Amino acid sequence: MKSTAPALMSAVALVGASVAGCGGQSSAAVARVGPRRAPAAKLAVAPKPQPPALVVSPVREAGPEWRVVARVRGQAAAWEAERAGVTLLRFDQHFVRLDLHAGEGEPSGTWRDGARIEPSEIHRVVAAFNGGFKFSTGAVGWMVGGRVAVPLRVGRGSIVTYPDGTTAIGAWGQGVPAAGRQVYSVLQNLSLLVDHGLVTSSAASCIQGCWGATVGNADVVARSSLGVTQAGELVWAAGERLTPATLAHALVTAGVQRAVELDINPDWVAGYLYQHGGSGPVGAPVVPEQLGIKGRFLAPYTRDFFAVVAR
């Protein structure tokens, strides 16, 4: 009987060679595979610089064309122009809101927004300007936060601010407030000076009797007004030598649809833009030759006024 050992060894050798040739990895091949490299670290990308929250830049001399005077988060929020002796400040309500302030003398009592620009507003104030007539004239209505200082009357020209900070202007009960909307504040003063984009007829024919008593009974005195455009922008207008008609016509050229005359006479008409720096805001007068308000609304003032504040 012949030995089978050589044959078996040959068969095993052939099978091993076959396995290696059919995809098996030799120890040499394994040795050539090194450790995997870690992915390259991503370069850090610097965050895009954000524009300052508020930049106010009053113009030295306004002209008939609108010039940007305030930006909120890089977006234009306020503009200034001057036309026919009327200084105009226009405000985009997407970026600012209007706060009605109580004065030290009237209305009496303690109110959320008091006789000066508040600490909550101080770093966000864009502008401020005078309010309406003295309460003793009988031409005023005044309410804030549900508290009524002077009763509101139907038909009066009304500056109405809603809880969301947007302001509308119209005749009380005949256009404002909007149906179903709660109201935060109201200042009423006389009737509408501009309505449906038209100057009221009494602006030229009934100056003293319809638009307030003046110092020396002069028809041409310092006057101010606040209006709203079709797009909802607010426009404050003022000048030192104006008739009601001149003031109203300037508002109409600015696209105002409805407007209320505010205070009149040199002692009570004033507006400011506030430049911001390390020591706090500084008020810059906007109406040429205005006598101004002592403290520029940064110190307590006796009468009510409006502050325009960045949202």
Cβ of 49: how many Cβ atoms within 10 Å? 6
Q: Where are the alpha helices (DSSP H) in 219-310?
A: 244-253
**What's the pLDDT tens digit per position in 263-291?**
999 999 999 999 999 889 999 999 999 99
The residue that leads in pLDDT, 5 or 98, is: 98
Q: Which residue in the block uniquely carries the two structure tokens 């008593």?
A: 213
State how far the Cα of 263 lies from the Cα of 275, in Å rounded to an integer.
25
Task: Please report whether residue 8 resides in a domain.
Answer: no
Q: Are 195 and 171 in contact (CB under 8 A)?
A: yes
Task: Please report whether residue 3 resides in a domain.
Answer: no
Task: Please report whether residue 10 resides in a domain.
Answer: no
CA dihedral 117, 61, 243, 264 (to 10 degrees): 20
State how far the Cα of 223 lies from the Cα of 243, in Å rounded to an integer.
8
Task: Please report whether residue 33 resides in a domain.
Answer: no
Range of the domain at 96: 54-310
What 3-state class would DSSP assign to 18?
Answer: helix
Task: Please report whether residue 67 resides in a domain.
Answer: yes
Task: Please report whether residue 15 resides in a domain.
Answer: no
Question: Rounded mean pLDDT of the chain?
Answer: 90
Nearest to 309 by CA among 144, 35, 72, 136: 72
* DSSP-assigned letter for residue 252: H
Task: Please report whether residue 24 resides in a domain.
Answer: no
Task: Please say if the pLDDT value at position 34 is more than 70.
Answer: no
pLDDT of amino acid 24 = 44
- Taking the CA atoms of 57, 58, 63 and 66 in sequence, report the sign of the dihedral they define: positive
Task: Please report whether residue 137 resides in a domain.
Answer: yes
State how far the Cα of 97 lies from the Cα of 112, in Å rounded to an integer.
15
Question: Does a cis peptide bond (omega within 30 degrees of 0) precede residue 288?
Answer: no
Structure tokens at 215: 């110092």
Confidence of residue 2 (pLDDT cuts 50, 70, 90): very low
State how far the Cα of 298 lies from the Cα of 300, in Å rounded to an integer.
7
Contacts of 119 (CB under 8 A, 6+ apart): none
Structure tokens at 105: 């003398």
Confidence of residue 15 (pLDDT cuts 50, 70, 90): very low
pLDDT of amino acid 112 = 96
**What's the pLDDT tens digit per position in 99-129?**
999 999 999 999 999 999 999 999 999 999 9
Give the chain's domain count.
1
User: Which letter, b or e, does each residue of 28-47 get, where b requires 16 or more Cβ atoms within 10 Å of its Cβ?
Assistant: eeeeeeeeeeeeeeeeeeee
Nearest to 55 by CA among 68, 42, 41: 68
Task: Please say if the pLDDT value at position 3 is more than 90.
Answer: no
Cβ of 166: how many Cβ atoms within 10 Å? 17
Identity of the amino acid at 6: P
pLDDT of amino acid 38 = 60
**What's the pLDDT tens digit per position in 210-257?**
999 999 999 999 999 999 999 999 999 999 999 999 999 999 999 999
